[in-house]
Structure 1
Amino acid sequence: MNEPLRPRTALVTGSARRLGREVVLALVAAGWNVAVHYRGSAPDAAKTVDDARKAATGGAQVELFQADLADEAQTRALLPQVIERFGAVDAVVNNASLFEHDSVDSFGYEALAAHARTNTGAPVLLAQALHHHIAQRKLAAGAGVVVNLLDQKLWNQNPDFLSYTLSKAALEAANTMLAIALAPQLRVVGVAPGLTLTSHMLSDDKFEQLHALSPLGRSSTVGDVVAAVKFALDNQSITGTTLIIDGGQHLMKFERDFSLM
């Protein structure tokens, strides 16, 4: 079935700030319509939308959507809202992530459940919804795509941020299962950055030192990660695998998380 020519549309979760924001700006500059999702960062989300509209090309449109992805009902309602606004959706970039510290000593069911809802459950539900939407449109194989943002620490494990790591490991496993279950309508691809952006837990000097700890002498930049996301969205032959974008950091052994080194 051939649909009228129109810009492709992507939902980018957790895109008010940081890496999600940069994915939004890159996609609208490439002519994509983008649904900017946020949970609680309303001022930042509004600024991202404003900046994205200025950067948009080819008539690309940008709209704002709020949802708490820890809430199953709100998560299930999100993609239908985006479809209602844009008419159709072609891709979901699962960038939203809960990242709170725990260890084997402080681990408990509550922390694990909180991370699993946002970091694992929500991406699976959104993939499910996109698959149903794409199947209804009777498009060609691979017409829809889900990109899951993962973490190089899955290939270079340490015991810090235990619940976060477990939730991302489950999402990485879901990459394979979803790629099989949702084919041929949907492709599912992981993108796993290394140390890319600093945080309140790292000084600028410490960030630079840690960023250089890789076989290539540098970890991933925002541009590297965004380019990988765009590649995953565009390449019709990739599914069920993960692109590790980290300068080779996963090949080195780190006993602690970067933020605690």
Structure 2
Amino acid sequence: MSALPSSPSPSPLPRPRTVLVTGAARRLGRCIALALAAEGWQVAVHYRASKHDAMQTAEECAALARTSAAFAADFQDEAAVRALLPRVIGHFGQLDAVVNSASLFEHDDARSFGFSALERHLRSNAAAPVMLAQALHQHLGERAAAGDCAARGVVVNLLDQKLWNQNPDFMSYTLSKAALEAAGTMLALALAPRVRVVGVAPGLTLGSQLLSAERFAQLHALSPLGRSSTPEDVAAAVRFALENRSLTGTTLLVDGGQHLMKFERDFSLM
């Protein structure tokens, strides 16, 4: 009597991917975090001071994916930035991507410009993202040395259509985003092939205390397509950047074409 063929052993489940989304407690970062969790990403929710909102975002992400957790770090503090990825990796076991959404956005112009404002914006909006990319590359290198042949990662930097449509408002903010855009090109070269680096540049996406709902709707419609970006549009572009293995060293402008128009002032001051 011949033996029955043995059933093939089940293949191990693929390890879930983990992404750190900075500034994910509120607004656009929160939308991106939830969109990625809905796609199965484990989300590390970074925040600076909005602990309650961050914990809420992490809870909602965990309900969509396997797990989530919130991590505080002040991006003005280099030591705190350098400690962030080891904390995330210690919690999740590994990290596969970073989405740099956290951003300082304080008004200044040519008259009020000073060293202090520029330094604050550069620390938060450019230096911290570069350090996080550096740390992700190191982590992936350690994984590769340990035999992980699939150790590849992605950094997505949130930029701004203002870089392609400049006006004199928010000078330090704009300079810091210009530095981040240039860093994206350099990092894409320096960290390849282990890490891809992609920029996503929204247009006017969310309202603020500086704009009434009616005025926001009017400005949002000022584009060749008759609409600028929504949070869902931006989150979809981030997902695309994370998944498309041919993208690096480039920026996706997600703004309804607002960068093709000339605006003399920032939207918040129009």
TM-score, scaled relative to structure 2: 0.93
Q: Structure 2 CA distance, aligned partners of 1:183 and 1:4? A: 28
Does residue 145 of structure 1 match 2:154?
yes
Per-residue Cα deviation, 1:8-58 (whole angstroms, up to 9, x for no partner): 00000000000110111111111111100000011111111122222x14x
Does residue 226 of structure 1 match 2:232?
no
Residue of structure 2 aligned with 1:124, choices 103, 124, 130 = 130
**How many angstroms does 1:5 deviate by?**
2.1
Contact in 1 for aligned 2:241/2:247 (Cα 8 Å): yes
Q: Structure 2 CA distance, aligned partners of 1:42 and 1:214? A: 36
Partner of 1:156: 165
Unaligned 5+ runs, structure 1: none
The Cα RMSD (Å) is 1.3
Does residue 215 of structure 1 match 2:224?
yes
Question: What SS does the aligned partner of 1:70 have?
Answer: coil
Contact in 2 for aligned 1:141/1:186 (Cα 8 Å): no
Contact in 2 for aligned 1:142/1:184 (Cα 8 Å): no
Counterpart mapping for 1:1-261 below 5 A:
5-54=14-63, 56-57=64-65, 60-138=66-144, 139=148, 143-261=152-270
Per-residue Cα deviation, 1:73-127 (whole angstroms, up to 9, x for no partner): 0000000000000000000000000000000000000000000000000000000
Contact in 2 for aligned 1:104/1:162 (Cα 8 Å): yes
Unaligned 5+ runs, structure 2: 1-11
Per-residue Cα deviation, 1:225-251 (whole angstroms, up to 9, x for no partner): 000000000100000000000000000
Q: Structure 2 CA distance, aligned partners of 1:140 and 1:171? A: 30
Structure number with bigger Rg? 2
Contact in 2 for aligned 1:103/1:159 (Cα 8 Å): yes
Q: Structure 2 CA distance, aligned partners of 1:5 and 1:46? A: 27
Question: What SS does the aligned partner of 2:89 have?
Answer: helix
Q: Structure 1 CA distance, aligned partners of 2:191 and 2:249? A: 10
- Greater CA drift, 26-35 or 100-109: 26-35
Contact in 1 for aligned 2:43/2:58 (Cα 8 Å): no
Report the CA distance shift for 1:258/1:140 in structure 2 as closer, same or farther (over 3 A): farther
Q: Structure 1 CA distance, aligned partners of 2:255 and 2:224? A: 10
TM-score, scaled relative to structure 1: 0.96
Report the CA distance shift for 1:141/1:252 in structure 2 as closer, same or farther (over 3 A): farther
